[in-house]
Amino acid sequence: MEILLTRHGQTEWNVLGKVQGRADIELNKKGVEQAEETSRALESENIDLIICSPLKRAKQTADIINKNRNIPIVYDEDIIERDFGEFEGMRKEEFDFNGYWSYKQNYYYEKAENIRNLFERVYKFLNRLKEEYPDKSILIVTHGGISIPVNCYFNGIPEDDNLLKLALKNCQVTKYGCK
């Protein structure tokens, strides 16, 4: 199985530095342009299936990438963005954003999704993909927060616990192979 992973295009909340977990924000103009660029960059890729987060920003990105290709799209709750709970819509400077993304510190919150629960959800999703689609090439359209545990699944958790350096930028694509 081969996985191509991309993050949705830019939103206004990205520009404002606000965290957007489950907030259903649409792409802005630049986000649409980024998705169009990614579509062109992926034209030569053989993609059997697109699996997409059900949030608007990811769905719009997947639809733009899939324009003129007619690849089946499956929406999967397991790759919806991390639930930011009480931090939703806040700027990264308004709370301990680095601590929030610390696997070692493993903080629990009143409403926000715990980091290890996020990793468990994404790892189960990837294990399921390996079972269901062993010989397929899959494009996953998701979120920056989901790109972190996907990277760790294939490459391990960094010793320095700096997970934020692993997050994909808007419409950045990376490739992983599984056996």
N-term to C-term CA, the chain: 6
DSSP classification of residue 93: G
Under a CB-based contact definition with an 8 Å cutoff, are residues 132 and 178 in contact? no
Among the options 43, 77, 81, 113, which is catalytic?
81
Measured between alpha carbons, how far is 177 from 73 in angstroms, rounded to an integer? Answer: 20
Among the options 2, 8, 33, 36, which is catalytic?
8
Concerning whether 113 is annotated as a catalytic residue, the answer is no
Concerning whether 93 is annotated as a catalytic residue, the answer is no
Under a CB-based contact definition with an 8 Å cutoff, are residues 60 and 37 in contact? no
For the CA atoms of 159, 165, 168, 169, the dihedral, rounded to the nearest 10 degrees, stands at: 180
- The set of catalytic residues is 8, 81
